[in-house]
Amino acid sequence: MLNPICTEPNLYRACSRIYSLCIPHMQPVHVSRAFNAECADRGANRIGACCAVTTPYTGTMTTYPEPTLIFENPELTVRAFSVSEMDNSVYLITMRATGEQVLIDPADDAEELYAFTLDALLKDCPQLELADGEERRVRVMEKEEDFNSIRPRAIGLTGILVTHGHWDHIRAIKELDHLTGAVTSAGAADAAAIKEQEDYTVEEELTGGESFDFYLSDTVIRALHVPGHTPGSIVYTLKTTWEDGTPATLLFTGDTLFPGGVGKTDSPQQFGELFSNVLEKLFGGFEDDAIVLPGHGRSTTLGDERPHLEDWGTRGW
Ligand SMILES: [Zn+2]
Ligand SMILES: [Zn+2]
């Protein structure tokens, strides 16, 4: 079944053109309990506030036209911002205590993404001051005393994590690295594609199993290699808590998994590889309440998608 918006011919062409690199077809009408633009319209300001809302998937092209707070707890916030005509969702994790930040997918417009990080610091870390210029490059403190000596300065962006090497997800990588000095990481098997497209060498090549920690915190982001959409596709996983302290899992899936299906593949073999990896590593590795935050469009949960897995396998996309 086509998305209703796509039954109008011009819109369907637009949808399939814009998403053709990333999403195989416009996805079927989809009901999600997770956060999306309608939730924001209803005044909910984060995922947890929105769980009772069911919304048909309408193919909205700009998911987060403004930087949007989608998740928060006493330790951290997650904000999302859609950039460019490809509606790439860029996610930003900000630690409240230190102002340390990690950005997922430097998709486009480095200046705007840099402003996005500073705005989050102002909102989420009001006790900290922003350092200017080169001082913002402060990112690795060997000892706690070193951090204390720079208090009350926010640390700022320390990590730029790339989900995969498709051009729409990496257009700002070089300039955002230059602006912030953050360490860039991407799947090893996509590093050559990034070099070729952006003339940029990724600093850390990932093969899965790596973890990224935060200064003065036990929270970690883990890299999971889930190849299929591209050879080096990485899903970044963040285990944290809801505001009341119960466990929460966020999966930053890039173009590996969307509401309604897996990402685009170019052959039945490639689909088979992606689908089996998604089954094993995502649906087999996480509980139904894990939140899926894709590289385009709306969020979902594994539990919302799990009943449809057999259909996906049968249809082959
Ligand atoms: Zn994409
Ligand atoms: Zn892609």
Residue 86 has pLDDT above 80, yes or no: yes
Distance 86 CA to ligand 1 centre (A): 7
CB neighbour list of residue 56: distance below 8 Å, 6 or more residues apart: 4, 29, 30, 31
Residue 89: pLDDT band (50, 70, 90) is: very high
For ligand 2, the distance from its centroid to the CA atom of residue 1, given in whole angstroms, is 23
Q: Identify the pLDDT of residue 128.
A: 82
Dig out the tokens for 97 from the structure.
């205590």
Tell how far the Cα of 102 is from the centroid of ligand 1, in angstroms. Answer: 19
> Ligand 2: distance of its center to the CA of 168 in Å?
7
Three-state secondary structure string covering 81-100: EEECCCCEEEEEEEECCCCE
CA-to-CA dists, residue 30 to 37, 124, 306, angstroms:
14, 32, 13
DSSP 153: B
**Paired strand residues for 88:** 83, 296
Q: Which of 20, 73, 77, 69 is nearest to 44 (CA)?
A: 69
Pairing of strands 234-241, 204-206: unpaired
Q: Which of 262, 256, 298 is closest to 58 using CA atoms? A: 298
CA 2 to ligand 2 centroid distance, Å: 21
pLDDT in tens, 213-271: 998 899 999 999 999 999 999 999 999 999 888 999 999 999 999 988 999 999 999 99
Verdict on whether the full-model pTM lies above 0.85: no
Which string of DSSP letters, residue by residue, matches 254-295? ETSEETTEE---SSHHHHHHHHHHIIIIIITTS-TTPEEEES
Report the separation in Å between the CA atom of 147 and the middle of ligand 1, taken as the mean of its atom positions. 37
Per the prediction, the chain carries an average pLDDT of 81
> 3-class DSSP state for residue 186?
strand
